[in-house]
Amino acid sequence: MQNSKINVIELFAGVGGFRLGLEKANPDLFKIVWGNQWEPARKAQDAFDCYVEKFNNGIHSNEDITKVSDETFVDLEPNLVVGGFPCQDYSVARTLSGEKGLQGKKGVLFWEIKRVIENTQPKYVLLENVDRLLKSPSSQRGRDFAVMLATFRDLNYTVEWRVINAADYGFAQRRRRVFIFAYKNGIAFDQFQSKYSEDQIVFNEGFFAKPFPVEFEPYKDRITSVALPNDIVSLSDNFSFGFHTAGYMKEGQVFTTQVIPKEEKPVTLRNILIAETEVDEKFYLSEATSEKFSYLRGPKKIERKTADGHVYQFSEGGMSPVDDLDKPGRTMLTSEGSTNRSTHIIEVNGRKRFLTPLECERLNGFDDNWTSSMSDRMRYFCMGNALVVGLIERLGLRIEEIEKTNILTDVQLKLALQS
Active site residues: 87
Question: Across-strand partners of 281?
Answer: none
* Residue length of the chain: 419
Tally: H helices and E strands in the chain: 13, 16
Distance (Å, whole) CA 198 – CA 254: 9
Amino acid occupying residue 37:
Q
What residues have CB less than 8 Å from 354, skipping those under 6 apart?
A: 283, 285, 337, 343, 344, 345, 346
Of the candidates 238, 261, 241, the one whose C-alpha atom is nearest the C-alpha of residue 253 is 241
- Give the Å distances, CA to CA, from 278 to 1, 175, 281, 380: 44, 27, 9, 18
Per the omega criterion (within 30 degrees of 0), is the bond before 137 cis? Answer: yes
**What pairs with residue 315 in β-bridges?**
301
The residue among 156, 171, 165 whose CA lies nearest residue 117 is 156
